[in-house]
Every structure is written in C-alpha cells, then in structure tokens.
Structure 1
Amino acid sequence: MEVESIFNTSYNNIEVIIVDNASVDQSHKKCKEKFDKIRLIENKQNFGYCEGNNVGIREAKGQFVVILNPDTIVEPNCITELISAYEKYGDGLYQPKIISLYEKNILQSTGNMLHLFGFGFARDKGVPDSLQRNDIEQIGYASGTCLFTSQKVLNKVGLLDSFLFLYHDDLDLGWRAAHLGIKSYYVPFAKIHHAESYSLKWSSKKFYWLERNRKYCILTHYSKDTYKKIRPYLMQIEFMIWLFYFSKGFLGTKIRAELNIRKNKKHILEKYQELESKKIISDSELVKTFPDEIFVPKNVSGSIG
C-alpha cells in the first residue's frame, strides 16, 4: 500500500489502521516508523484476510470504514467521492473505479457482479478506461480491493466471514447485504490504482479457496427451495468444473475443496439457518439482478485456456 497516498487525500479526517497477519518481513514496522499516525496491530498468527480485516474494523473509531488492499494507491479525491455517494444514496457498500497500477488506463473493475452459480467477476476487467460509465450505479457487490461502507451497515450485515479465510469474502458480504435490502454501488469518480497480487495467480492454493468458498456461499445463501430448483443446472456446471480442474492438473485441489465442505457441514448448516432467518429480500427477487453471462476478457481467458 502506498500509505502516503492515503494521507494525501482531500479528506483528512481519517484514521489509518494497518493489521499485520504475522508476516515475516518488517514492512509494517517500517510504515509505522515513517508515518507515526498509523495504528499498527500485530496479530500473533495469520488469521486470514477476512479476520485480519475484522480485527482492524473492530478497532476503528470512525463512522465510515474503508477496507483497502495493501497493493493500492488512492487518488486524492477518492474518499471524498465515496462519502459523497454514501450521503446521496444511503446505507450501502461502495467501491471506486479500480485501475491497473502497471497498465495505465486499463481497468480492473467497474463493479463486481454475482452469478447464479456463485461465481463472482469484475466488470470490465482488462478493458481500456474509455467507457462512459460516469454515473453512480448499482452493482452485484463491491470489490474487497477497496470497499467503503459505514459501521452502521456492518452492524446490520456483519463483518467479513472468517470461515472464508481468503477470497469470496466481498461476494459473501455483498450477498448478505442484498438479502437485507442493502445495495452495492459503483462510484466512477472515486479512483484507486491496484497492483494486483500475482503470488497466487492460477495456483493450487488460489483455486482451492475460490472453489471451496463458492460452494460455501451457494449452500449458505440459497434457500432449500431455490437450491432444489437450480440443482440440475448446478450439476452441469459441476461437471464442467471437474473437467477444468482435471485439465489444469488441479484435480486434487478440487477434491480437497469438496472434502472440506463435507467436513464443515455442521457449520454450514448453522450459517445457512442464521442467514435464512434474517432474509428480507427473497432469492427470486435477488436473482433477477444477476447477469446471464460471465464476462471473461481475452487477456484473462488466454492465460487459463
């Protein structure tokens, strides 16, 4: 994270909290030495991305919260624009325009979208930043790369689900919020630049968390009736996913994801019951907002095809 970019924003009434998840390098301490206004929290173990962020959120004292990835640069007016959008549209989850740090004017996300089968994808990823998306608009869910909301909303929706550990946490949060009637928004004039970590790119570890957490979200968010209706289609998708994992040499990864879901079926049932009891917006209403297709840009599909 370019911490200096945060302190250089036009909105200066901020509190910066860095949570270190028992990392082996000393980068967090160097940040603290350079910027004494930072609040540094050092976890004694790696709690994962989700619970690591939750630790920081619980310590935050402000009305608003920004969850921000460490490999980002924030443009000066970003936070001001996000607050302005919140004040206009009300309780919700908000994200800025996310632009590649290394490929200038190449988009990474103009809002994330949720698919019927539990897949999440970044709209306009890999596309030149020439699209005329100049209006604040509703999206499937706000990207966890930079997610803005209020403590009030988090008190209603809950924090990030620590069971997920890594990946799909933003999708799950947005899905939970949507069932409570709380919308997610894209704010085009708020901008950040994201390096995007390649350390887990197409790795067995990444595929494990993505698939395990996708299944978890499907099993906890859909009612039994909805699941029964979409199950025939899910089975077709499952067959294709198994083929994909096999073709990429990740068959063992898929098996481990499935075994973990079965191992945690008690927790999944409890989570399902909790979410089902809180629903205000039905599955049938929410599914109407889902896209019919998943957009995969050529530069991404080429790297996995």
Structure 2
Amino acid sequence: MKTAIVILNWNGQKLLEQFLPSVVNFSQNEADVYVADNASTDSSITYIKEHFPTVKIVENTINGGYAKGYNDALQSIEADIYCLLNSDVEVTKNWLQPVLYVFKNDKKTAIIQPKLLDFKDKTKFEYAGAAGGFVDLYGYPYCRGRVFNNLEIDNNQFNDISEIFWASGACLFIRSKVYHQLGGFDEDYFAHQEEIDLCWRTQNIGYKVKYIGTSTVYHVGGATLQETNPHKTYLNFRNSLLNVVKNVPTRWFLFVVFSRLILDGIAGIKFLFELRPIHTWAIIKAHFSFYKNFFKFLGKRRKLHKKQNYNLHTSIVWQYFALGRNRFEELR
C-alpha cells in the first residue's frame, strides 16, 4: 500500500526546520514524504533541497490556501493513501503502522485521524482535532477531548479505535481514490472546516471515518492563524454555515439555517460584551459572505448523494454554555 505524506507549506521554513526531521525519521521505508509549496517567497525550497534530499517537492504556482493547495498538489502525487499533514506537527515513532493496518483490513474506512495532542503541553488534547470530531444538530463542530475551548488531559481515555464524524486537517489520512472521486476539497472554503465537508461527503457515499488512538502526533496549532485572529473567526463562522447549506439533511434544513442565524447573532453579542468587537464584525462579514454564496452552495447541495444523518448531540452550545457540560462523556 503506497503512502504519501504531503506537507503543505507557505513561507514556513522555520516550521520545516523544527518538524520535518521527525516526519522523515519516523516514516522511512513506510511512506514517501512530499512538501507541497504554495508559492513561498522565503527560502523553504532551498532549505529542503539542501537538508532533506529524499523529500520530494511539488511547487504550486499560487497560494490558494489549504483547499486549493492540496487539490493542486495531489494531482501529481501517485499513492494509495494520502496523509495530509500540517507543517507544525511532530510525529512519533510507529505512528504510521496502526493507521495503515486499519486501511489494509477495513476497505470501507476511507479517512483516518490519529490522536492529536498539544505540542505546547503534551499532556493535553489539541484544539484542532483532539480525539476525533463531530458536529451537532446545528452544524457546530466539537471533538472528543475538546468541547469549545475546554481541553481534556490525556489519561488514555481515548486510546480506542472508533468511528467519528470528521477528522482534523492537521493530520488526515485518506484513500486517494476517494479523494479524487469526491473532487478533493471544496476550494470555496479557502481554509478551515473544508475537512468537515470532505468527511461529510465521504460518509454520504458509504465510507467510514475513523479515529486511531494508538497513533499519536503533536500539533502546535495556530501556526498559520492564531485562535484570536478575527480572520479565523470569519472563516470558521462562514464555512460552518456553508457546511450547513451543503450537507444538512433535508428534514432539518430550514430549521437549522434559521436557528444558526440567531445563534451566530448571540455569539456576536457575546463578543461585544467581552470587548472584542473585531470578532463581532468578523461574524457579520461571515454572514454577508454566506448570503452571497447561498445559492451557489444550494446548487452544490443538489448534486450530492444522500445526506448523512449527523444528529449525534442536539445542541453543543446549549449543553456547554447553559448546562456546563464541558467534557465529551457528559454530553447527551
């Protein structure tokens, strides 16, 4: 089973210097390592050629963000399994074997995520994916090991192998045939939550998404956009709304869309009370972009296969903010 680890890079030489050695050292004889460069203007490519001659380089002509960056690069990479790996991830010894074992023995599993721990505090799960992702009735994402900003300590409670709803784009394994069958990532997202859309569409055509807790990687997180960056707020709110329009089952569609308009408004008011008006403005801009793209995404919705039932927990917002449930096992 030919495996390609593909690291998307944009002006990230410092990250490559820090994290590429672990990827090369712990992937030898099991996978080819690629760096897909998004038209960097620093000396990233020169650094790779000088220090890691075994690493293959794919040069994209523009910086099209996460979605287009991978779509462009993967057109020229032949492999059975792609591992899409952020440049700020440290991998560990034997991280590939448990993942590849599941791919070999379960043909219906198309996407896999390992355990994601915080590089800055390796006792805790990491925000971007933790122990596997889910969405609630309203399309808000959350994870095992991370509900909103509450990060759990890793006490081996998620050392299992289980089905999840979405895998983090920080470290996402996918069968190449499924990736290309689905047309890859939706480039209208640019960055953030496009992996949720991809996982949703993967399940719609009958495949499974899994979490493998016996494989561990450490993610810095926020190396491209900090959590406090208003542009990240904009992308997360807008793209979450686009996921709703594109993928929510028909029976819930109108209810969820109108409910999200109200809930996102409440979130904007909350930012105002927290004296963070720039994030309120980011939500407003996200909604204007959503309205602009509504009918375009409605057209995409009509072309998709059956909509996957996703209602695992009714409202993560209600349970977290009203009921004080901040751990995955407390959710109902």
Shorter chain as denominator, the TM-score bin is 0.7 to 0.9
- Indicate whether 1:118 and 2:139 are aligned: yes
* Residue 153 of structure 1, CA deviation: 2.0
Distance in 2 (CA, whole Å) between partners of 1:160 and 1:230 is 23
SS state at 2:122 partner: coil
Counterparts of residues 257-276 of structure 1 (less than 5 Å): 257-275=286-304
Compute the TM-score of the two structures, normalised by the length of structure 1.
0.87
Partner-residue secondary structure (3-state), 1:78? coil
Shift of residue 245, structure 1, vs aligned partner: 4.2
> In the alignment, does 2:269 pair up with 1:243?
yes
User: What amino acid maps onto 2:266 in structure 1?
Assistant: M
Deviations 1:156-196 (A, max 9, x none): 33311111001001111111112222221110111111111
Q: 1:235 to 1:260 in 2, by over 3 A?
A: closer
Contact 1:15 1:60 in 2 (8 A): no
Distance of 1:204 and 1:120 partners within structure 2 = 18
Judged with a 3 Å threshold, the aligned counterparts in structure 2 of structure 1 residues 196 and 23 are, in CA distance, closer, same or farther, namely same
Q: Give SS of 2:32's match.
A: coil
The alignment status of 1:293 with 2:311, answered yes or no, reads no
Q: Distance in 1 between matches of 2:310 and 2:135?
A: 9
Q: Check whether the contact 1:93–1:174 (CA below 8 A) recurs between aligned residues.
A: yes
Matched, 1:226 2:282: no
| Match runs of 1:75-224 below 5 Å | 75-90=92-107, 91-108=109-126, 109-125=130-146, 126-198=151-223, 199-224=225-250
Q: Would you say the 8 A contact 1:15–1:62 is kept in 2?
A: no
TM-score between the two structures when normalised by the length of structure 2: 0.80
| Maintained 8 Å contact 1:95/1:185 | yes
Query: Is the CA contact 1:140–1:290 (under 8 Å) kept in the aligned structure 2?
Result: no
Counterpart CA distance in 2 for 1:81 and 1:11 is 15
In structure 1, stretches of 5+ residues that fail to align are 301-305
Q: 4+ residue runs of structure 1 moved beyond 4 angstroms?
A: 294-298
Output the CA distance in 2 between the equivalents of 1:253 and 1:293: 22
What is the aligned partner in structure 2 of residue 254 from structure 1? 283
Distance of aligned partners of 1:121 and 1:63 in 2 relative to their CA distance in 1, 3 Å threshold? same
Q: How far apart are 1:261 and its partner, in Å?
A: 2.0
Q: Take 1:292 and 1:223, find their aligned partners in 2: how far apart are those partners?
A: 16
Q: Secondary structure at the match of 1:117?
A: coil
Contact 2:135–2:311 (CA under 8 A) maintained in structure 1: no
Distance change in 2, residues 1:149/1:253 (3 Å): same
Distance 2:71 2:313 in 1: 28
Contact 1:157 1:180 in 2 (8 A): no
**Which residue is equivalent to 1:15?**
32
Deviations 1:245-267 (A, max 9, x none): 44421332222212222222342
Given candidates 32, 43, 55, the residue that maps to 2:60 is 43
